[in-house]
Structure 1
Amino acid sequence: MQLDDLYRRVIMDHYKNPRNRGELADDAVTVNLNNPTCGDRISLSMQLADGIVKQARFTGEGCSISLSSASMMTDAVKGKTLEEALAMAERFSQLMKGEPVEFDYEELEALSGVSKFPARIKCATLAWNALRKGIEQERQNG
């Protein structure tokens, strides 16, 4: 099996069977973002405590790239410190620029091919931008 085929299967698995889909309680940090270019939208809810992402869930509508990225991101950041989550978001941005990057949560590498399609990068980074914004909100309010 070709690597591109494997990556496509990982993306479609997260799209068809999203991890962490849903909402969190009222005390969660919630960020709503959309991509006006294509209509993707996401609502990211996170429980942040003691400098750690305790839980992350999302709802929204969008393409397979957008929702797969949200599914992978919510899985990848759970249990990470806010600094680790932000560092992961930065590495994901590098991945979207076509730079070689490794992740502990290896499934994120399935999105590496998106860098070849500039119009789709905003789809892939929507959830990550919500993560950054949520952590920024927490720091301002905390």
Structure 2
Amino acid sequence: MSFNNLDTLYRQVIMDHYKNPRNKGSLEDGSMTVDMNNPTCGDRIRLTLKVEKGIVEDAKFDGEGCSISMASASMMTQAIKGKEIDTALKMSKLFSDMMQGKDYDEEIDVDLGDIEALQGVAKFPARIKCATLSWKAMEKGVKEEE
């Protein structure tokens, strides 16, 4: 597949998550809630997580922002559901490395799935905070829960 076709596919995946977000909404029943914003561009997110016995049982988000921040939140909530906290944090580290254009540790056996569509964001430093907002919210929430 040529680079242009791959780039087009990645854009389609991002726009699909933006226009049809997965896990949009909030959780009740004592779930943890984390509010974060990106004052640089106005993105804001409210992430709710249900964690039981070290497993992310459910994750939902609400908020507003650019296509990258909302698509990233949609992808992240899909990716971490059913995962152990340690795995979710490893995914966050891999994602952060990817956003910074670093080589990430392929020894870590974690599949980022649709999230890899966001790798092109690394070329636009001003947009990295948009993409990482939901991940930072998840990290904050699970660290506060420990």
State if a TM-score over 0.5 links the two structures: yes
* Correspondence for 1:90 among 78, 87, 93: 93
Corresponding residue for 1:112? 119
* Correspondence for 1:129 among 118, 122, 136: 136
Normalising by structure 1, we get a TM-score of: 0.94
Within-5 A mapping of 1:1-142 = 2-101=5-104, 103-139=110-146
Give the SS at the match of 2:25. Answer: coil
**Residue segments in structure 2 that go unaligned for 5+ positions in a row:** none
CA-atom RMSD, angstroms?
Answer: 1.2
> 1:49, 1:109 → 2: CA distance?
28
Deviation, 1:119, is 0.2
Deviation per CA, 1:8-64, whole angstroms, max 9, x where unpaired? 000000000000000001400100000000000000000000000000000000000
**Residue segments in structure 1 that go unaligned for 5+ positions in a row:** none
Query: For residue 95 of structure 1, what is the amino acid of its counterpart?
Result: M
Deviation per CA, 1:75-112, whole angstroms, max 9, x where unpaired? 00000000000000000001101134575241100000
Structure 1 residues 129, 22: CA separation in 2 closer, same or farther (over 3 Å shift)? same
Regions of 4+ moved over 3 Å? 100-103
Contact 2:18 2:71 in 1 (8 A): yes
Alignment coverage as a number of residue pairs: 139
Query: For residue 53 of structure 2, what is the amino acid of its counterpart?
Result: D
Give the SS at the match of 1:125. Answer: helix
